[in-house]
């Protein structure tokens, strides 16, 4: 961990300790992995416009998301099967996120229960990501346990009606540790069947927008819709009561050829206006990437793979270190941009190349 200066170092350290098949799942994308590359490359297609001779002797990276204070505009994205990276899995991820002062999103298909995650990091802020099972009672039980354990929002992943074609995983023979996933075990116990794409056969492929309204009305917590890249879907999310949306293409893991998240961000921000918060997911590796997303209208970003890298090589401490590197880089970028806080970053601070 002493070698760690930036998130590229974190990736190199993680690759040394993660088996090749698991690494293919963590880092791979769909098809030819064009969208996976574009998510990162999109940041080179915008340019920051710093202002100078501004007093930046005091900088704050703090902000709020859905009213929750966080130490920086960086959240931990939901990621499945974290036991493939580290024996302490989601428990360590939650501890690292809490130590860094930010929100962790727990996947429905986690290798730890919501109550165990809450017990491991009782002072942390947590949201639950939702995959909806064909047997809705399974999903409802996970949601109820999470909310009883202090989770404060539900994040509905909307871009996985079917599983993306992921050749890298297939070539390396990755197999999901489904027997260690409480929600999948529960679904199977109720008679659910899987198909060749892990547990996809257990999930509901027929979700529609009315489920967003149902979630909001039944559970009485903020609903975040994750996995949209168009103004049309952003408008529908608002119309159905979403408190926030995440501009995301699932990390390039679903439909290859989809627009990069950063390039989709401006049209979603314009469509949403002040009706919901907008977050970005995909390709963030630097603090300057974070402030670029803020300038294009995001309130915060989510990072997935970098947090998983930290988990892999260092458990909770590794997660914390990765997040604190990003926080330090955000602070530096804000100062050099001429902004004393995330709230001061505006559209005037960025231009398209």
State the pLDDT at residue 1.
60
Mean pLDDT computed over 282-299: 98
3-class SS of residue 261: helix
Mean pLDDT computed over 138-144: 96
Reported as a pLDDT band with limits 50, 70 and 90, residue 2 is low
State the pLDDT at residue 193.
64
State the pLDDT at residue 194.
56
Mean pLDDT computed over 15-37: 97
Tell me the pLDDT tens digit for each residue of 52-100. Answer: 999 999 999 999 999 999 999 999 999 999 999 999 999 999 999 999 9
User: What count of other Cβ atoms lies within 10 Å of the Cβ of residue 55?
Assistant: 7
State the pLDDT at residue 109.
95
Higher pLDDT, 181 or 195: 181
State the pLDDT at residue 191.
74
State the pLDDT at residue 195.
55
pTM of the predicted structure, to 2 decimals: 0.96
The set of residues, in sequence order, having a beta carbon less than 8 Å from that of 263 and lying 6+ positions away, is: 38, 42, 45
Which residue numbers are catalytic? Answer: 250
- With CA atoms as reference, report the closest residue to 251 among 223, 280, 281, 271: 281
User: What count of other Cβ atoms lies within 10 Å of the Cβ of residue 152?
Assistant: 17
Q: Which of 23-27, 74-78, 170-174, 293-297 has the lowest mean pLDDT?
A: 170-174
Reported as a pLDDT band with limits 50, 70 and 90, residue 188 is confident
Reported as a pLDDT band with limits 50, 70 and 90, residue 201 is confident
State the pLDDT at residue 214.
97
State the pLDDT at residue 85.
97
Residues 270, 237: contact at Cβ < 8 Å? no
State the pLDDT at residue 9.
96
Domains of the chain: 7-339 (3.20.20.70)
User: What count of other Cβ atoms lies within 10 Å of the Cβ of residue 19?
Assistant: 12
Distance CA 112, CA 88 (A): 9
State the pLDDT at residue 35.
98
Tell me the pLDDT tens digit for each residue of 119-130. Answer: 999 999 999 999
Per the prediction, the chain carries an average pLDDT of: 95
Tell me: pLDDT of 37 over 70.
Answer: yes
Distance CA 29, CA 255 (A): 9
Distance CA 237, CA 229 (A): 12
- As given in the structure block, the two tokens for residue 231 are 């103004």
Distance CA 317, CA 97 (A): 9
3-class SS of residue 30: coil
State the pLDDT at residue 175.
87
Residues in a beta bridge with 302: 75, 281
Tell me the pLDDT tens digit for each residue of 221-248. Answer: 999 999 999 999 999 999 999 999 999 9
Tell me: pLDDT of 198 over 70.
Answer: no
State the pLDDT at residue 189.
86
Mean pLDDT computed over 331-336: 98
Taking the chain, what is the end-to-end CA distance rounded to the nearest angstrom?
36
Mean pLDDT computed over 156-182: 91
Whole-Å CA distances, 322 to 102, 120, 135, 202, 314: 12, 19, 37, 34, 10
Distance CA 64, CA 42 (A): 26
């Amino acid at each position: 961990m002493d070698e760690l200066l930036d998130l590229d170092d974190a990736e190199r350290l993680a690759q040394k300790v993660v088996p090749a098949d698991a690494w293919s799942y963590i880092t791979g994308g769909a098809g030819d992995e064009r969208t996976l590359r574009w998510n990162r490359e999109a940041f080179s297609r915008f340019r920051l416009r710093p202002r100078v001779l501004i007093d930046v002797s005091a900088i704050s990276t703090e902000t709020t998301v859905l009213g929750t204070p966080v130490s920086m505009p960086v959240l931990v994205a939901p990621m499945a099967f974290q036991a493939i990276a580290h024996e302490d899995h989601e428990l360590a991820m939650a501890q690292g996120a809490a130590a860094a002062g930010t929100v962790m999103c727990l996947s429905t298909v986690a290798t730890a229960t919501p109550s165990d995650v809450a017990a491991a990091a009782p002072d942390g802020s947590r949201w639950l990501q939702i995959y909806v099972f064909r047997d809705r009672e399974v999903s409802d039980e996970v949601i109820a346990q999470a909310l009883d354990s202090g989770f404060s929002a539900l994040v509905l992943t909307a871009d996985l009606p079917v599983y993306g074609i992921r050749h890298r995983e297939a070539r390396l023979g990755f197999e999901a540790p489904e027997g260690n996933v409480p929600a999948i075990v529960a679904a199977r116990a109720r008679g659910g069947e899987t198909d060749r794409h892990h547990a996809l056969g257990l999930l509901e492929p027929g979700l529609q927008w009315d489920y967003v309204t149902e979630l909001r009305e039944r559970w009485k917590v903020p609903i975040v819709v994750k996995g949209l890249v168009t103004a049309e879907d952003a408008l529908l999310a608002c119309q159905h009561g979403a408190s926030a949306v995440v501009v995301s293409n699932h990390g390039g893991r679903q439909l290859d050829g989809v627009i990069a998240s950063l390039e989709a961000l401006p049209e979603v921000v314009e469509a949403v206006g002040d009706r919901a918060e907008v977050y970005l997911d995909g390709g963030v590796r630097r603090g300057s990437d974070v402030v670029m997303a803020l300038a294009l209208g995001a309130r915060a970003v989510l990072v997935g793979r970098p947090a998983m890298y930290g988990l892999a090589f260092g458990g909770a401490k590794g997660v914390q270190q990765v997040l604190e590197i990003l926080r330090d880089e955000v602070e530096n970028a804000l100062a050099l941009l001429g902004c004393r806080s995330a709230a001061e970053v505006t559209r005037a601070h960025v231009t398209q190349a």
